[in-house]
């Protein structure tokens, strides 16, 4: 609930303050049943936790993050779609379109996700992603790439496995090969063209990620981590940077990315 309040306050800093507030209230009114159910489930779980003598810290935090993310996404998604800002909600990450847009990008690619498994698992996606990346880097001398992936040795790997309904060993069988393919792709690009060297940075984070983010030139796909689904397979929030509202929302998520990049991640040096 605190996240909802903070996000709503942040969003109302735009010139459309009154309109946004009214739309938020209207959305809550329209969706009150689902919001109440989610909060009720959270309260039941909270009561059970308080009555238990056994600590379930990680699971408790994961559950509350899940409930908070759903409520936040529900309110923000329905509200901003009504403001004519160009923001949309595709059912999943449009990988082919994302790769095509990357080839035409001019400034920056930033990604925050678990291991980019959806792109790395398919040869055609991985090859096209690498070609688009190389094109963007070689054409634009200032183009930079920053990618944040999960530290698979951290406790949050188990947390992510739980969210996906997997055991940790099953999760690592998927995550480790995807991570290796990403790092091999980086090496291949840097060895193939010296212009790619020092332009691709991949770091691993060791916190519970608040969202997934795929952004090209400040146009971003944002998603959360719903139970039982990969972020790329879940509903996205597409935020174009052209509108004033899009700029403010993107800046909010971008600042969170920067915070993780600076404070909660380390460079991956070796395969």
pLDDT at 36: 58
Residues facing residue 251 across a β-bridge: none
Residue 70: which of 211, 251, 248 has the closest Cα? Answer: 211
Residues facing residue 267 across a β-bridge: 203
pLDDT at 143: 94
pLDDT at 228: 83
pLDDT at 65: 62
Domains located in the chain, CATH noted: 2-83 (no CATH), 95-267 (3.30.870.10)
pLDDT at 243: 78
| pLDDT tens string 172-192 | 999 999 999 999 999 999 999
227 touches 66 (CB < 8 A): yes
List, for the chain, all residue ranges whose pLDDT scores fall below the cut of 70. Answer: 1-85, 269-271
pLDDT at 169: 95
pLDDT at 18: 47
pLDDT at 168: 95
- Give the pTM: 0.71
């Amino acid at each position: 609930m605190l996240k909802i309040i903070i996000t709503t306050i942040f969003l109302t800093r735009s010139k459309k303050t009154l309109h946004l507030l009214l739309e938020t209230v209207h959305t809550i009114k329209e969706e009150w049943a689902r919001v109440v159910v989610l909060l009720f489930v959270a309260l039941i779980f909270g009561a059970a936790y308080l009555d238990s003598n056994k600590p379930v810290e990680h699971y408790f935090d994961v559950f509350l993050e899940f409930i908070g993310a759903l409520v936040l996404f529900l309110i923000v998604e329905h509200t901003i779609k009504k403001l004519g800002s160009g923001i949309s909600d595709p059912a999943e990450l449009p990988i082919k379109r994302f790769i095509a847009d990357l080839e035409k990008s001019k400034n920056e690619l930033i990604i925050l996700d678990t291991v980019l498994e959806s792109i790395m698992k398919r040869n055609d996606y991985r090859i096209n992603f690498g070609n688009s990346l190389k094109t963007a880097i070689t054409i634009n001398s200032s183009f930079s790439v920053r990618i944040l992936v999960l530290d698979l040795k951290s406790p949050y790997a188990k947390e992510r496995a739980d969210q996906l309904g997997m055991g940790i060993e099953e999760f690592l069988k998927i995550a480790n090969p995807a991570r290796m393919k990403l790092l091999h792709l980086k090496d291949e690009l840097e060895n193939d063209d010296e212009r790619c060297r020092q332009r691709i940075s991949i770091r691993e984070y060791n916190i519970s990620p608040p969202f997934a983010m795929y952004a090209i030139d400040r146009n971003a796909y944002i998603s959360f981590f719903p139970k039982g689904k990969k972020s790329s397979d879940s509903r996205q929030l597409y935020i174009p940077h052209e509108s004033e509202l899009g700029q403010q929302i993107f800046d909010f998520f971008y600042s969170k990315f920067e915070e993780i990049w600076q404070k909660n991640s380390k460079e991956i040096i070796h395969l």
